[in-house]
């Protein structure tokens, strides 16, 4: 929505509106899952970035929040939360991330990291295919038990995404260079670690191969994982543990996640993993 205004947030009243958005977007039922007004107050006072998106009527409909952190003795931003109300999605989240990137650049920071659920195909597509993030860290049950309906039912395993915001491949993604999506034949022919089949309504893993040694490989996940957690929790937990096993195995062998391809009509997506910086 081009008529949506995005700006920095500074006041207590604005922070309260962000807390309301946290509840509305993620459906938290326990205050222990929320970032509270005092936390926004002191972190923004000391360099955190909190930006809000406002519709033409002046209502806050989305936000992005990043705190200052350290990695390898260098300052970076940790993007703890970014969300948009469902009726305003369709490009606004992307605009918020671009604004977050500009805030980091203005502070002389070139790395933003955040976590996301590796079972969420749309988030994976956004983080890798659109933003150009990479990942080499898998965190088991990172947030513990969550009261959010989006997360409830399986461990809160997360991929830690690194967004190197000045890297050439990131700039190419953001500029949407046409030739970027053209893949070498060897990428398309890379082996898929997990063979999956349709079993009723949902996909299931039939075979997992943890012995793949090619430079590139694919890990497949099903679409609709949130619904699977609600309708088939045993199947969802099985998927979570299978995906955990595959990522832990191959990241430990020096692979990193460099891309994601979403096959909407087929009902799945695939992560591309590569070794030795090949992508």
Helix residue spans in 189-232 (DSSP H): 225-231
Q: Tell me how far apart the alpha carbons of residues 42 and 160 are, in angstroms, rounded to a whole number.
A: 25
Question: Residue 133 has what pLDDT?
Answer: 98
User: In this predicted structure, what is the pLDDT of residue 132?
Assistant: 97
Burial class (CB in 10 A: 0-12, 13-18, 19+), 234: exposed
User: How far, in Å, CA of 231 to CA of 13, rounded?
Assistant: 39
CA distance 47 to 165: 18
Q: Which helix (H) or strand (E) holds 124?
A: helix 121-124
pTM for the model stands at 0.92
Q: Which residues pair with 202 in a beta bridge?
A: 199
> Tokens standing for 224?
């609709």
Q: Is 88 exposed, middle or buried (0-12, 13-18, 19+ CB in 10 A)?
A: middle
Supply the pLDDT for residue 146. Answer: 66
Q: How far does the chain reach from its first CA to its final CA, in angstroms?
A: 33
Single out the residue of 179, 182, 267 nearest to residue 220, CA to CA: 267
Contact partners, residue 203, CB within 8 Å, separation at least 6? 196, 197, 222, 267, 268
> Could you say which architecture CATH assigns to the domain 5-178?
3-Layer(aba) Sandwich (3.40)
Please report how many Cα atoms fall inside a 13 Å half-sphere around the Cα of residue 64, on the Cβ side: 24
pLDDT at 182: 46
Q: How far, in Å, CA of 12 to CA of 86, rounded?
A: 25
**Which runs of E-coded beta strand occur in the chain?**
5-8, 49-54, 60-71, 74-84, 111-116, 134-139, 158-164, 194-199, 202-208, 216-222, 255-263, 268-275
Within the chain, which residues score under 70 in pLDDT? Answer: 1-2, 146-153, 177-186, 277-279
Domain chopping of the chain, boundaries: 5-178, 185-275
pLDDT digits (tens, 9 = 90+) for 53-73: 999 999 999 999 999 999 999
């Amino acid at each position: 929505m081009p008529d949506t205004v995005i700006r920095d947030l500074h006041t207590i009243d604005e922070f309260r509106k962000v807390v309301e958005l946290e509840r509305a977007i993620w459906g938290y039922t326990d205050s222990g899952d929320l970032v509270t007004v005092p936390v926004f107050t002191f972190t923004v006072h000391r360099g955190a970035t909190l930006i809000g998106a406002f519709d033409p009527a002046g209502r806050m409909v989305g936000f992005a929040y990043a705190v200052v952190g350290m990695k390898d003795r260098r300052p970076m931003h940790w993007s703890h939360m970014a969300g948009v109300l469902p009726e305003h999605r369709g490009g606004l989240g992307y605009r918020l991330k671009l604004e977050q990137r500009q805030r980091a650049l203005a502070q002389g920071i070139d790395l933003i990291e955040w976590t996301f659920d590796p079972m969420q195909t749309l988030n994976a597509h956004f983080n890798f295919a659109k933003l150009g993030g990479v990942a080499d860290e898998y965190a088991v049950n990172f947030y513990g038990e969550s009261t959010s309906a989006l997360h409830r039912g399986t461990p809160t395993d997360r991929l830690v995404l690194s967004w190197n915001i000045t890297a050439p491949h990131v700039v190419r993604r953001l500029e949407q260079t046409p030739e970027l999506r053209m893949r070498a034949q060897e990428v398309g022919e890379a082996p898929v670690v997990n063979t999956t089949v349709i079993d009723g309504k949902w996909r299931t893993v039939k075979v997992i191969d943890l012995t793949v040694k090619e430079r590139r490989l694919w890990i497949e996940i099903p679409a609709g994982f949130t619904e699977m957690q609600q309708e088939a929790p045993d199947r969802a937990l099985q998927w979570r543990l299978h995906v955990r096993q595959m990522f832990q195995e191959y990241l430990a062998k020096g692979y990193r996640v460099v891309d994601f391809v979403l096959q909407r009509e087929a009902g799945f997506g695939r992560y591309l993993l590569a070794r030795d910086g090949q992508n």
